Amino acid sequence: MTFAELDQPYAGRFADGEHRFAVRIYYEDTDAGGVVYHANFLRFFERARTDMLALFGADIATTHDAGEGTYVVAAAELKYVRPARLGEILIIVSRFLEIRAAACTIQQRVMRDGQMLVEGRVTVVFVGPDGRPKRQPAAWLEEFHSFNGASSAQ
């Protein structure tokens, strides 16, 4: 690897029709119960979704800055099955459940050594600078559908 590559933060990848994104648990993520604070899984989900979208060519920082729009979370559901702890490495596994013109629903599971710790579903809506839903960029939608078709067909 070159120096420039070594200074790149972690990026996830697609495997078997799903997106995998690893997260290490630091003190910042935990609470006095000795486990990951429940709200923080939504932060991990955002990191994984951002990475997944970037792999599809959907760079939300750029569209945000250009005033073209960004994703906002419209709904989230989480089921907490097992706790996660300091120092563990978790894998956030994400896949599309539904793709609509202005919104996507994504299943996001938190896995550790093959066991599911948390099951989440997050619906994101693409909105313009006025906060109103708008059609997701056509190139992105095409990528999402193409990937999802391929993985559904497996």
Residues serving a catalytic function are 31
Measured in degrees and rounded to the nearest 5, phi and psi for residue 56 equal -85, 0
Q: How far is the CB of 150 from a copy of itself (least distance, A)?
A: 19
Contact, 144 vs 104, CB < 8 A? yes
Q: How far is the CB of 2 from a copy of itself (least distance, A)?
A: 12
Strands 89-99 and 103-112: antiparallel
Minimum CB distance to a copy of itself smaller for 131 or for 153: 131
Q: How far is the CB of 140 from a copy of itself (least distance, A)?
A: 16
CA-to-CA distance for 38 and 25, rounded, in angstroms? 13
Which residues neighbour 34 within 8 Å (Cβ) at sequence distance 6 or greater?
83, 85, 86
> What is the contact surface with a copy of itself in residues (CB under 8 A)?
3, 6-10, 13, 15, 20, 22-28, 30-35, 37-40, 42-43, 46-47, 50, 59-62, 64-65, 70, 72-80, 83, 85-89, 91, 131
